[in-house]
Amino acid sequence: MHRVRPLPAYLVQRYHGWKATGWHENRAWYRRLADEGQRPRAMVVSCCDSRVHVTSIFGADQGEFFIHRNIANLVPPYEQDGAQHGTSAAVEYAVTALHVAHVIVLGHSQCGGVQGCVDMCEGRAPHLEDGSSFVGRWMDILRPGYDRIKDDPHPARALEKEAVVVSLTNLMTFPFVRAAVDAGQLTLHGLWTDIGEGNLEFWDPATGAFKPV
């Protein structure tokens, strides 16, 4: 581990700035969060993309959202194979231990992961089709979604939204998610945000379309 280095100076500086202001002015609040534990009302599944600012668009404070981020905000289908499933572990903990009332899947515009999936499915990304590509194998989750939208004139945009629907569908394959939904203790929500415009749309299951929030 000798290649691990101390933080770069600009981050050290920023941290001390936050400790002296953001933390210091709210220290009682942070103390309470530490003492009382977390009780988030919602889990959010969003993309790793640095432009997707989950807490900013909802004005959320620490302790409000249990957030899981991965490439293209995907939830894989329920699978009991003894392998290591990070996303499924996060869903399990949120639903069965934290008892969140909502699971929100948040897709976004200009998603590089989704674009990669389109390229892969259209034969333009052999590096993603290679069995050694973690991104490619992860994006396989979205292949059935691509098949549904492939005739759309804007396949990347259509697939960004379809990825949200795929994740919502896969969430319901988890027995503990289905049980909580059936019991009326959990609701699922699908959202897509336009980074440039700041717009937010929600998936309406009645029409199968996204509409402005």
Count of positions on this chain that bind Zn ion (CB under 5 A): 4
83, 169, 181 from 165: Cα distances, Å: 25, 6, 16
Q: Of the two residues 63 and 112, which places its CB atom closer to Zn ion in the complex? A: 112
Between 142 and 186, name the residue whose CB sits nearer to Zn ion: 142
- Tell me the residue length of the chain: 213
Q: What is the closest distance, in whole angstroms, from the C-beta atom of residue 111 to Zn ion in the complex?
A: 3
Residue 46 beta carbon to Zn ion: minimum distance, rounded to whole angstroms: 8
Question: Interaction with Zn ion in 61-120: which residues (CB under 5 A)?
Answer: 111, 113
DSSP string for residues in 56-112: HHTTPPTTSEEEEEEGGG--PPP--SSS--HHHHHHHIIIIIS--SEEEEEEETT-H
Q: Are strands 209-212 and 102-108 parallel, antiparallel or unpaired?
A: unpaired
Nearer to Zn ion, 33 or 195 (CB): 195
CB-nearer residue toward Zn ion: 180 or 192? 192
CB 193 within 8 Å of CB 49: no
Instruction: Measure CA of the first residue to CA of the last residue in the chain; give whole Å.
Output: 47
Q: Report the site for Zn ion in 109-128 (rule: CB under 5 A).
A: 111, 113
Is 47 an interacting residue with respect to Zn ion (CB under 5 A)? yes
Contact between 165 and Zn ion by CB under 5 A: the answer reads no
SS3 188: strand
Whole-number minimum distance, CB 163 to Zn ion, in Å? 9
Distance of closest approach, residue 194 Cβ to Zn ion, in angstroms: 13
- When the beta carbons of 26 and 110 are compared against Zn ion, the nearer one is 110
* 42, 43, 46, 49: residue in contact with Zn ion (rule CB under 5 A): 49
SS3 content of the chain, % helix, strand, coil (to 5): 45, 15, 35
Which residues form the interface with Zn ion (CB under 5 A)?
Answer: 47, 49, 111, 113
